[in-house]
Chains A and B, each alone.
Chain A
Amino acid sequence: MKSKSIVVVLAVFLAIAFTSISALAITKTATIRVDGMKCSKCTGSVEKALKATPGVEKVEMSLDRKEAVIEYDDAKVTEAKLREVINGTGFKAVEEKSGSQ
């Protein structure tokens, strides 16, 4: 009887812990202005590199607004890392006009 109670308590504890951990992984959206994005032929590289980054869920590039809108799991990747990835493609992630939600 006692061991059964322990198992139940343990199961409840694990369920709560698992839910809390999952809840911590929130999808965030970062809008990053990308300097130097002028030609449609070469913007694909930014999208490709971002999509290959673990934690990135969705990428939308806008050549008109010269920005990348990125949905990402902030438990797996940071906005600073996303900027680093963009800079690694030869473009420049502009610091001041960015933002996260």
Chain B
Amino acid sequence: MNKKIFFTLLFLFVPIVTLGQELRPAQLTVKDIHGRNIRLSDYRGKVVLVNFWATWCPPCRKEIPDLIRLQREYRSRGLQVIGVTYPPQKLAEVRRFVRRAKVNYPVGLGTKEMKLLFTQSESLPMTIVISRNGTIQDIIEGILLPEEIEQRIKPLLN
């Protein structure tokens, strides 16, 4: 009897663990710079780029125009960019930067715990690619290179 329960539990549990290792469902709720909630679950069905960045990080600032362009050009094909500042920054600083750079996607203030939901890496910038079914598809460390946009993001939008 015990054996039967053990194997039943094993049968039920193993696929969940395996799934958890390979395709973690991405969970994120963050307040945006205007105080509204950004929930990753609201973007199910879209390819989401969660971009961790900081106003004082030169490569982060450099790639923001590319993210703005991607958001503008690929919105209709299901792309959604979400910016998350990390490490924690002053709201006023982030607001000023977002306004000046004319960022066309939601930006929230992140925390270490929030970043740990995706990765332990401390690189900045860092872009988490979330597939249409809400799982983590890819983690791109450092500035987005044109070939990475072509090979690791655009194919998901076809």
Docked pose: A45 CA to B61 CA in angstroms = 12
Interface of A is mostly: helix
- Known contacts A42-B60, A42-B124; decide if A52 and B143 are in contact (CB<8 Å): no
Of the candidates B57, B63, B124, B147, which one forms a contact with A52 in the assembled complex, judged by CB atoms under 8 Å apart?
B147
Docked pose: A46 CA to B123 CA in angstroms = 12
Is A89 interfacial (CB-CB < 8 Å)?
A: yes
Docked pose: A52 CA to B151 CA in angstroms = 14
Is B125 interfacial (CB-CB < 8 Å)?
A: yes
Is A4 interfacial (CB-CB < 8 Å)?
A: no
Docked pose: A48 CA to B126 CA in angstroms = 13
Residues of B with C-beta under 8 A to A41: 57, 122-124
B145 touches A42 (CB 8 A): no
- Known contacts A52-B147, A88-B62, A89-B62; decide if A42 and B141 are in contact (CB<8 Å): no
Of the candidates A44, A88, A89, which one forms a contact with B123 in the assembled complex, judged by CB atoms under 8 Å apart?
A44
Docked pose: A48 CA to B63 CA in angstroms = 14
B145 touches A52 (CB 8 A): yes
**A64-101 contacts to B (CB < 8 Å):** 88-91
Enumerate chain A interface residues (CB-CB to B < 8 A). 36, 39-42, 44-49, 52, 88-91
User: Chain A nearest CB: distance from B54 CB in Å?
Assistant: 8
4 tightest Cβ-Cβ pairs between the two chains A and B: A90-B58, A90-B62, A45-B59, A45-B143
Residues of A with C-beta under 8 A to B147: 52
Docked pose: A40 CA to B87 CA in angstroms = 13
Docked pose: A52 CA to B124 CA in angstroms = 18
- Known contacts A39-B124, A42-B124, A44-B123; decide if A90 and B59 are in contact (CB<8 Å): yes
Of the candidates A40, A42, A44, A48, which one forms a contact with B58 in the assembled complex, judged by CB atoms under 8 Å apart?
A42
B145 touches A48 (CB 8 A): yes
